[in-house]
Amino acid sequence: MANVKSGDIVVPGDPLCVIEEFTPSFGTYEENGVVYAATSGAVAVDVKKREIRVVNPDGSIRLSLPVKGDVLLGEVINVYDQRAEVTVVKRNDTDIHNALIGEVHISNVTRRYVKSMYDVLRPSDIVRARALNTHQIPVQLSLVGPEFGVIYAKCSKCGYPLTYTAPNNLICLRCENRETRETANDYGQRFGLEPRPDLAPRRRAPRGPPRGNRRTRPMGRRRLPPRQQHDGRRPPRGRSAGQRTGRGSRRR
């Protein structure tokens, strides 16, 4: 009965073949052993898989929902400990007229261990992500891969755009606040934010003074004393900061 061949234009309700010939796949449905077209488009027969599908003549799918593998662009609207919500506004570099909700689970952020979602994403970040499921809402997103991740972020303290220093490390040039994100490899380049590798945080010196444990540890945990939060003008690393933390910890 195979009265259609690849490339034929069909409309919904057209009989395509019987179920013994081809398995119904996308854009088709089966009733009483006969496969019918469910959408309009061109017939695509996969002889190897014995599958029959109805898609656009150029092979794409016309539905407005993202399919697996699509590159999506969106803004983070909510961050929870285990997941984050994203409004998707662009799909494969074309605007979506009605934004849809995407969801990033903590396991899909990177291959490495992530303690908390707050370390890798913050609300109002702009992210590029890959869709993990087809024709579903909310769409599951993945940030794994060098070109996926945050491409624009704002300082959580003063709202100034953050500048890239080292992978996953950002700095606010206005208030010198350092933040971490799961950055894409082209972070900020669309927005005119030049990377500043010279501001990259220096490694905590493993070759420090041999018995300086008491000294170095408070330096590593500089954020802990609450007083530190107030003096935003402090240079990122310096003697005075270390001294002050030293005193603070002694007072405790």
Q: By CB under 8 A, what part of segment 13-42 binds another protein? A: 13, 27, 29, 36, 38-42
Q: Closest separation between CB of residue 118 and another protein, Å?
A: 26
Residue 64 contacts another protein per CB under 8 A = yes
Which region, judged by CB under 8 A, interacts with another protein, from 91-99, 112-120, 183-191, 232-240?
Answer: 91-99
Amino acid at 229: Q
For 191, other C-beta atoms within 10 Å of its C-beta total 10
Decide if residue 213 touches another protein (CB under 8 A).
no
By rule CB under 8 A, what string of x and - marks binding of each residue 123-162 to another protein?
A: ------------xxx-------------------------
Q: Determine how β-strand 94-105 pairs with β-strand 139-142.
A: parallel
**Residue closer to another protein, measured from CB, 105 or 222:** 105
Record the tokens describing residue 135, joined without a space. Answer: 């024709």
Mind giving me the DSSP string for 39-106? SSEEEEEETTTTEEEEE-TTS----SS--TT-EEEEEEEEE-SSEEEEEEEEETTEEEEEEEEEEEEG
Q: Is 174:140 a contact under the CB 8 Å cutoff? A: no
Q: Are residues 12 and 39 in contact, defined by beta-carbon separation less than 8 angstroms?
A: yes
11 is an interface residue for another protein by CB under 8 A: yes
Q: How far is the CB of 189 from another protein (least distance, A)?
A: 19
From the list 177, 145, 147, 144, the residue with the least C-alpha distance to 163 is: 177
Whichever of 2 and 63 has its CB closer to another protein, that residue is 63
Q: Which is nearer to another protein, 31 or 231 (CB)?
A: 31
Q: Which of residues 40-59 bind another protein (CB under 8 A)?
A: 40-42, 57
Please state the separation of Cα 46 from the chain's center in Å: 33
Give the interface with another protein as residue ranges (CB under 8 A). 9, 11-13, 27, 29, 36, 38-42, 57, 61-65, 97-101, 135-137
